[in-house]
Amino acid sequence: MSTPTPTLPSSATTHLLRAALQDRIAGVLIGSALGDAIGLYTEFLTAANAAKAYPAGRFTLGGPSQCHPTPFKLDAHRAPKEPGDWTDDTDHALLLLLSFLHTARTSPNPNPTPDDGEEGGQHPPLPTQKDLAARLRVWVSQGFRPLDTMPLGLGRLVGTVVASQGFDADPESVAREYWERTGRRVAPNGSLMRTHPLGVICMFREEEEGLGVAAALSRVTHVDPRCVVACVIGTRLVRGVVRGEVVGEGDVDVVMGRAVEWFRGTGEELEEEELWRHVRCEGGLDELKLDDQAAIGYVYKTLGSGVMLLRMAIRRTATSRGGLLNRTRLFEDLITDLIMRGGDADTNACFAGALLGGYLGYSALPDHWKHGLKYQEWLLGKSDALCRVLGVMDGDYHGKEDKDTELQGGRPAVSQDEMEGRWMVLQQATFKKMEEVAKETSSKASRSGWSLPWQRAKGKR
């Protein structure tokens, strides 16, 4: 099963191939953040309510050619955010990326081989369970520190596991104890939503190494075999699209088959029929019933919707006359179709956006989305840093000198009292926004009886 590919082939040093790799890597990171930001518009809505809230079925985040982004259907869940914001999905994926970048640096030889000696032949260390656990602990209590944003969207599973005693020392044991205590039934999508950077980080390592770390990092919070295998498959698919290995639909099945074969070797039990039913669904997205309120956060729904969109992109690319315009419209149309089905729309589109972004590239992402994404330039900077570390872009990078990669993001820790003050300010701003909209629309909706998103534990994640 092994496909030893620890280094770039010599042909990858050509200008065109390196540029293509840079484009795909940025496509993964920005594409997933865009899916997340666009998905927030319809998260938790039914398909019927999404169509009612956004009858045009089109969205813009603004950007240089657009004056006004599409306004949210304003409710307690969306009111604390602004169009163009990403959610906890992207925050957690970036925790993983920053964990890797913190210990990474450019090599004297940008494309080292095992024969270059001890320093030249080593890859940077991969993220560990303990480091990701420490970063999740900071996020839960203080938010995303590099950008000083609030920890909105905390899910029940992550919140409970991260707050448990012993999580810092042995997160997997704590997560397993929670899974067993809840009857081994909980399989939400909170680890899949954060795993896609690993497909890029491990793109020049042996296949088994990347799959192993994907499984280990899922188990930091999500130990259910369905969650773990989803992370393994997702990581391998991202790796495949960025490396240009996924060209036809058959390649999708081959890549998933190899990932599942590897998972079988771990000895964990897995009901494979349930998995294949979601990733090979003959009925397309309709069959996944993404807005089924009893199971909107189920990890196989997110995995299946991402795989389905990748299949659709491959089919349409094969029948299209090509051209950048067609590919740009392809990303927008597919993601819009996905999020208009409601459910856990931001997470579904976050994972699908990573796959489509890697397949189509950053250059194919719609301008009126990517240029309206908040912190796009910051995120592109991290993409460039990753490209330099991987040897596909010129320039130096030393993670220890990048304050963003530190546990506190280069900022002082926020005290509990200060965080309570920030929550109060956000709560007041949210109420004010809701009241203003109610006045503008002459709404008779009651301002009581609803809870703010940080006052309730969500059933997903």
pLDDT digits (tens, 9 = 90+) for 64-86: 766 799 999 989 899 999 999 99
What sign does the dihedral 91-93-99-102 (CA atoms) show? negative
Q: How far is CA 305 from CA 74, 302, 313, 335, in A?
A: 26, 5, 12, 10
Hey, which residues does 298 pair with through a beta bridge? 188
Residue ranges of the alpha helices (H) in 219-248? Answer: 225-242
At 439 the pLDDT is 80
At 444 the pLDDT is 47
Hey, which residues does 458 pair with through a beta bridge? 155
**Residue linked to tokens 């969306």:** 78
What is the token pair recorded at 392? 């596909």
pTM of the model: 0.91
Q: Summarize pLDDT for 407-430 with one digit per residue, the tens.
A: 999 999 999 999 999 999 999 999
Give the integer Cα–Cα distance in Å for 170 and 132: 11
Maximal C-alpha separation, the chain: 72
Q: Which residues, 6+ apart, have CB-to-CB distance to 246 below 8 Å? A: 237, 240, 252, 255, 310, 314, 359
At 115 the pLDDT is 37
**Count of C-beta atoms within a 10 Å radius of residue 439:** 9
Give the integer Cα–Cα distance in Å for 113 and 5: 10
**Count of C-beta atoms within a 10 Å radius of residue 431:** 14
What is the token pair recorded at 389? 């570390």
What is the token pair recorded at 3? 């496909």
Nearest to 426 by CA among 151, 111, 140: 151
At 14 the pLDDT is 67
Q: Report whether 90 belongs to an annotated binding site.
A: no
Give the integer Cα–Cα distance in Å for 183 and 186: 8
> With a cut of 70, which residues of the chain have pLDDT below it?
1-14, 65-66, 108-121, 321-325, 441-461
Determine the 3-state secondary structure of 414 from DSSP. coil
At 65 the pLDDT is 65
Q: Report whether 346 belongs to an annotated binding site.
A: yes
Produce one character per residue of 155-186: b if its CB has 16 or more CB atoms within 10 Å, e if not.
bbbbbbbbeeeebeeebbebbbebbeeeeeeb
Contact 193, 302 (CB under 8 A): yes
Q: Report whether 87 belongs to an annotated binding site.
A: yes
Give the integer Cα–Cα distance in Å for 273 and 437: 48
What is the token pair recorded at 193? 């939503």
Nearest to 78 by CA among 103, 121, 118, 49: 49
What's the chain's length in residues?
461
Nearest to 356 by CA among 253, 192, 241, 203: 241
Q: Superfamily for 20-455? A: ADP-ribosylation/Crystallin J1 (1.10.4080.10)
Q: Report whether 344 belongs to an annotated binding site.
A: yes
Q: How far is CA 398 from CA 97, 402, 412, in A?
A: 14, 7, 21
Nearest to 211 by CA among 197, 229, 194: 229
